A and B are shown apart, each in its own frame.
Chain A
Amino acid sequence: MPDMIVEATVNGRKIKKIAQTHQRLLDFVREELELTGTKDGCGAGECGACSMFVDGRLVKSCLVPVGKAQGSEVETIEGLGRTGELSVMQKAFHKAGASQCGYCIPGMVMAATAAIRVNPAVGDEEIKERLGGNICRCTGYQKIFDAVGLARDVMNGRLPATALDEDAAEGGRYIGANVRRLDAPSKVSGALKYAGDQVMPQMLHVQVLRSPHAHARIVSIDTSEAEAMEGVEAVVTSADVPGKDGFGVFVHDQPIMARGKVRYVGEAIAAVAAEDLLTAKRALQKIRIEWEQLAGLFDPDEAMQAGAPVVHDYAPDNLVKHIPIRKGDVERGFAEADLVIEERFETQQVEHAYLEPEAGIGYVDPDGVVTIVSPSQNITHHRHMLAEILAMPINKVRFVMSPVGGGFGGKEDMIYQGMLALLAIKSRRPVKLVFTREESIATTAKRHPSRTSYRMGLTNDGRIVASEIRVIYDGGAYGMSTEGVIRKGAILAAGPYAVPNVKIDTYGVYTNNTPSGAFRSFGSLQTQFATESMLDMAAENLGLDPFEIRRINAMQAGDLTHTKQELKSVSLLQCLDGAEKASGWETGAPTVRGATREDLDGEGCRKPCRLGARFHAEIPAPKLSEVA
């Protein structure tokens, strides 16, 4: 591998190290210097997880070829608070609660530090502008902005240093008090090790061959040429699975790697473990596959029609699951209604976009225990499934949950841990796989796209008397969480409203689209969106205030849900009151509003996007030599 000697100053220390010519400064710092506080979130300049200073200027190190660092001064998150104490900015992040999963936080702290260095009196708008290149998926930004403002005020002496200390819990009560998170120091300092940050002696690097086709039969796979390559230690396919190959949150319909055919673009077919990443990548190109194309199925309605292509043999009707709910008699309800509204709704696929792409390490420990370290949201279930897949007793399979750099449901599926296990067993060495952002987006589960047909009957005084709801969820190529998602979707479909007559049918279907899985709200977002939209239309039709129509129908304590769960307490009315007040809502039916509304564009409303706050600020000219 071509290499070069890099001499630079890193966090105040002179270094001289061999780098590979293709490495980015990010790789060099993480791999050669083993400073893993700086993260890789996208590798394309879009997220800021990799922000660091080079010669006093903040840059995204994923876009800096290592050659550019020759002779320069580099400062990483590990360089802040070098005395072992957190820097003021890091303490402010700790105090303000500005870290959740923490994956974006080192980059965020660096961007915040840069903002203060360039302009010690940086204003609130300018803070937002200067942090514009750093994305956080978890915190919602407000706490991050609070932290930067706090650090600025402490540094300028406007607030005492004690402002960074933990607030005393009033009267010893912690509920409702501002408590600092225990794990925050490890996140603001970059010390926390996510799976991708961990290394083991003798570790191999894994790459995965993925399907370019949505639906195709694998006639043959030839891995011999890849296996013969120097530096390649193991290649696995579905043929290497010793036990019962199948995983999934409900139905175990997904093989570790494609078995016989592929069902979506991006599905794993083979995996290679090699001495280094480049060799593993090159080995993928040597794997030969003979394909036979099959008709693809991409439309969930079509999936339910007779004669549609079949995705899984065990489900000739392409149905993952159907959940029906019946209560009362909807036809009688519609007969009593003064108004019947019918509408169709569609929602789309959504990516979770956690900042940490999937990563994991697999190894066999000295006692023969197959061990997987990964940010899995479901390790116990994974452990049970993997034991069956490997045909090993459960006490010989171990899962370690590494810090999860954001999940939101997207890390519930065991889509890569099985490959790590097989490769560790076959190579007898620790193996590590880190997804690229593109790989993560292309291959992991998404929020279910949905199509809802809705019929709602109401009386003139605003009471819902019947709801008939039919939802088709596109489950994609594998079952994953679909069954649970559509069950939750059905249970919550008619909303938190006391409707006497209800008919609900939710269907999860197989297609050759990217699999759908768990995602915050677990299937109910799709139906809530439809129900709440129906209520707004009903309010418009009946001349009622949208808050009022919801109050009229709200379930109360003591009511039974549509699936007969007794509600002991219900806070819906308080919730509606709170939302009405906070939004400055003007009472009235939607129809009487329009151009005269004063609650739009008023106090508390977000103004159009602007940039250029710094043009008006008194910015002391940056003195880079001083802040370097």
Chain B
Amino acid sequence: MLTCDDYLIPTSLDDALELMTRHSGRQRIVAGATDILPWAREGRAGDVHVEHLIDISKVAELNEVSFGKGRVRLGAATPFQRFLDRDDLVKALPNMRHCAIWFADDQIRECATVGGNLANASPAADGTPPFLALDAEIELARREDGRTVRRRMPLSQFITGPGGNQLVTDELIVAIECDALPDYGGSFEKVGHRRSLVIAVACVSALVSIDRSGRHFDDVRLAVGGVGPKALRLADVEALLRGAPIEAGVIDEASRLPLDLVQSRTRQAYRREVFRGFVSRALAGAARDAGAEIDAVEAELEVHHHA
């Protein structure tokens, strides 16, 4: 059980940062609470008392979504459900709705925030691979001498390992900024034990644009999570596919490249097989989403596309 002496609900960023600094060492941030409440239960952290819980979900700036110069800026408190029900986000971030549909369930997604997902830095977090594919940057802020100090860095640098990130004491994630790619197709694949409410064993997200003929990959972006300590972009696969024909043989070859990443000591052969299958499914799915005729390719690859 999570207990606190007071539950603070600031509405501006400056107030939130000020409260964090004032109660330094005796406070914790709550956004959607979907990680922190289950964490404070038996078998995990158990009963936890924090003097001040600071709920940042009502901070105006953290809830803003804006578009500009080919980029999208998402306030850190944006819940994952918005990737499904906001038309502008569905268009601009073609892989995020696929990520969202596999993320928890409709109800958790109303609360679970992008900032909380990235701050938690779980190797199995579903948000990381699709944001890596979108070339995301993280904006951070903290209070120093009564002023708000901001800095930013690529997401690939922000997450340092399982549960580890670059946040310093009393610093907040303010926003995630990423590419707007309305002309791309996107996909997300997840290996888990069931359909809803499942933490990924591994996940992968692809973004694909196709040339005018519809027969060649133009740009390809691919990122995986859950196979190592942190999620990764697969640059060699992307390079191999750029400009290549959208054919089963090509996708199959590309899906074999990253197999060395699968270093888990148990059930190696099985894991490699699964990994190869779902990388090719992600690539084919994103190509389909981008408008490519892909039925024959998928049949040859023996991948079932998800809706």
Chain A nearest CB, measured from B16 CB (Å):
14
CB-CB contacts below 8 Å: A1-55 with B: 2, 4, 21-22, 24, 43-46, 48, 51
B111 in contact (CB, < 8 A): yes
Bound Cα distance from A24 to B32, whole angstroms: 13
Residue of B101, B107, B304 near A60 (CB, 8 A) is B107
Q: Does B68 contact A (CB under 8 A)?
A: no
Q: Which of B9, B32, B110, B197 contacts A67 (CB 8 A)?
A: B9
Is A159 among interface residues, defined by CB-CB distance under 8 A? no
Q: Does B306 contact A (CB under 8 A)?
A: yes
| Residue B1, interface by CB 8 Å | yes
**B196 lies within 8 A of chain A by Cβ:** yes
**Min CB gap A152→B, angstroms:** 17
Residue of B nearest to A436 (CB): B42
Closest CB in chain B relative to A44 CB, distance in Å: 4
CB distance from A609 to the nearest CB of B (A): 5
**By the criterion CB–CB under 8 Å, are A57 and B110 in contact?**
yes
Which A residues touch B81, using CB under 8 A? 57
**Chain B residue contacts of A438, Cβ below 8 A:** 41-43
Contacting residue for A611 out of B6, B57, B307, CB 8 A: B307
Contact B7 A621 (CB under 8 A): no
Stretch at the interface among A172-180, A340-348, A358-366, A612-620: A612-620
B67 interfacial by beta-carbon distance below 8 Å: no
A57 closest partner in B (C-beta)? B110
Contact flag A132-B42 (CB < 8 Å), given A2-B5, A616-B307: no
Which of A48, A59, A278, A611 is B102 in contact with, Cβ under 8 Å?
A611
B142: CB under 8 A from chain A?
A: no
- The count of chain B contact residues (Cβ–Cβ below 8 Å) is 43
**B1-47 CB contacts (< 8 Å) to partner A:** 1-7, 9, 30, 32-34, 37-38, 41-43, 47
Q: Does A138 contact B (CB under 8 A)?
A: no
B183 at the interface (CB under 8 A from A): no
Neighbour of B6 across the interface among A21, A132, A614, CB < 8 A: A21
Partner of B5, one of A21, A57, A58: A21
B248 within 8 A of A: no
| In the complex, residue of chain A having the shortest beta-carbon distance to the beta carbon of B30 | A65
- Residue B55, interface by CB 8 Å: yes
Q: Across the two chains, which residue of chain B brings its CB closest to A439?
A: B42
| A129–B7 CA distance with the chains assembled, in angstroms | 34
Q: How far is the CA of A609 from the CA of B32 in the complex (A)?
A: 28
CB–CB B38/A63 < 8 A: yes
- Asked if residues B87 and A621 are in contact (CB atoms below 8 Å), the reply is yes
Known: A2-B6, A21-B7, A615-B97. A51 touches B107 (CB 8 A): yes
B38 touches A44 (CB 8 A): yes
Contact among A66, A130, A608, A609 with B106 in the assembled complex (CB-CB below 8 Å): A130
Indicate which residue in B9, B33, B106, B306 contacts A64 across the interface (CB closer than 8 Å): B33
Measured between beta carbons, the chain B residues less than 8 angstroms from A63 are 32-34, 37-38, 108, 111
Which of A68, A608, A609, A622 lies in contact with B57, CB distance below 8 A? A68
The CA-CA distance from A562 to B68 in the complex, in Å, is 79
Is B221 interfacial (CB-CB < 8 Å)? no
Q: Does B98 contact A (CB under 8 A)?
A: yes
**Bound Cα distance A614, B85 (Å):** 10
Q: Contact at A133–B307, with CB atoms within 8 Å?
A: no
Q: Flag whether B84 is at the interface (Cβ < 8 A).
A: yes
Closest B residue to A54 by CB, please name it: B110
Separation of A281 and B55 alpha carbons in the complex (Å): 26
Which chain B residue lies CB-closest to A130? Answer: B106
A242 to chain B, nearest CB (A): 32
Any B CB within 8 A of the CB of A373:
no
Contact yes or no, A59 B5, CB < 8 A: no
User: Which A residues touch B32, using CB under 8 A?
Assistant: 63
Number of A-B contacts (CB under 8 A): 122
B304 with A608: CB separation less than 8 A: yes
Q: How far is the CA of A62 from the CA of B36 in the complex (A)?
A: 12
**Cβ of B96 < 8 Å from any Cβ of A?**
no
A111 to B34 CA separation, bound complex (whole angstroms): 18
Taking a contact as CB atoms under 8 Å apart, the answer to whether A281 and B1 are in contact is yes
Interface size class of A (residues with CB under 8 A): 35 or more
B197: which A residues are within 8 A, CB to CB? 45-46, 132-133
With A22-B1, A609-B195, A613-B307: A58-B107 Cβ-Cβ less than 8 Å: yes
B297 within 8 A of A: no
Given A2-B4, A65-B33, A281-B1, CB of A132 within 8 Å of CB of B105: yes
A614 touches B55 (CB 8 A): no
- The CA-CA distance from A612 to B101 in the complex, in Å, is 6
Closest partner residue, chain A, to B50 (CB atom): A22
Tell me which residues across on chain B come within 8 A of A502, comparing CB atoms.
Answer: none
List A contacts of B231 (CB < 8 A): none
A611 to B307, CA, bound (A): 7
CB neighbors of A among B105-121 (8 A): 105-108, 110-111
- Inter-chain contacts of B30 with A (CB < 8 A): 65
Closest residue on chain A to residue B307 by CB atoms: A612
Give complex CA distance A441, B111 in Å. 27
- Whether A610 is near chain B, meaning CB under 8 Å from some CB there, is yes
The interface residues of chain B lying within 8 Å CB-to-CB of A22 are: 1-4
In contact, B111 and A132 (Cβ under 8 angstroms): no
Cβ of B195 and Cβ of A132 under 8 Å apart?
yes
- Among B2, B34, B87, which residue has its beta carbon within 8 angstroms of that of A45? B34
Q: Does B125 contact A (CB under 8 A)?
A: no
Q: Give the CA-CA distance A616 to B101 in the complex, in Å.
A: 13
Interface string of A321-337 (1 = CB under 8 A from B): 00000000000000000
B53 interface hit (Cβ, 8 Å): yes
- Closest residue to B108 on the A side, CB-wise? A45
A615 to B53, CA, bound (A): 38
* A319 contacts chain B at the CB level, 8 A cutoff: no
| Shortest CB distance A498–B (Å) | 41
**Contact (Cβ within 8 A) B307 A70:** no
Could you give, for residues 37-74 of chain B, a 1 whenever the CB lies within 8 Å of some chain A CB and a 0 otherwise? 11001110001000001010100000000000000000
A114 within 8 A of B: yes
Q: Given the complex of chains A and B, what is the CA–CA distance between A417 and B168 in angstroms?
A: 50
Return the CB mask of A594-628 against B: 1 if under 8 Å, else 0.
00000000000000111111111000011000000
Indicate if B262 sits at the interface (CB-CB under 8 A).
no
**Cβ-defined partner of B7 (8 Å) among A4, A58, A442, A608:** A4
Let me know if A133 and B101 touch, CB within 8 A: no
B104 at the interface (CB under 8 A from A): yes
Q: Are B53 and A65 in contact (CB under 8 A)?
A: yes
CA distance A130 to B194 in the complex (A): 15
Do residues B111 and A59 form an inter-chain contact, with CB atoms below 8 A?
Answer: yes
Known: A24-B37, A46-B197, A614-B84. A68 touches B97 (CB 8 A): no
B107 touches A59 (CB 8 A): yes
- A43→B41 contact, CB < 8 A: yes
| A434 vs chain B, min Cβ distance (A) | 13
Nearest residue (CB) in A for B97 is A615
Interchain CA distance A57-B109 in the complex, whole Å: 10
Chain B: which residue is nearest A62 at the CB level? B37
**Interface hits, B83-105 → A, CB 8 Å:** 84-85, 87, 97-98, 101-102, 104-105
B47 near A611 with CB under 8 A, answer: no
CA distance A60 to B34 in the complex (A): 10
B107 CB to nearest A CB, Å? 5
Residues of A within 8 A of B107 (CB): 45, 48, 51, 58-60, 111, 133
**Residues of A contacting B37 in the complex (Cβ-Cβ under 8 angstroms):** 24, 44-45, 62-63, 65
B69 to chain A minimum Cβ distance, whole angstroms, is: 27
Residue from A64, A70, A439, A442 within 8 A of B111 (CB atoms): A64
Task: Return 5 A-B CB contacts under 8 Å, by A number.
Answer: A45-B34, A70-B9, A133-B106, A436-B42, A438-B42
Closest 3 CB pairs of A and B: A133-B105, A132-B196, A612-B307
Q: What 18 additional pairs, Cβ within 8 angstroms, besides A45-B37, A46-B197?
A: A4-B6, A21-B4, A44-B41, A48-B105, A48-B107, A59-B111, A60-B108, A63-B33, A63-B37, A67-B7, A114-B106, A132-B106, A132-B195, A133-B108, A436-B42, A438-B41, A612-B306, A616-B307
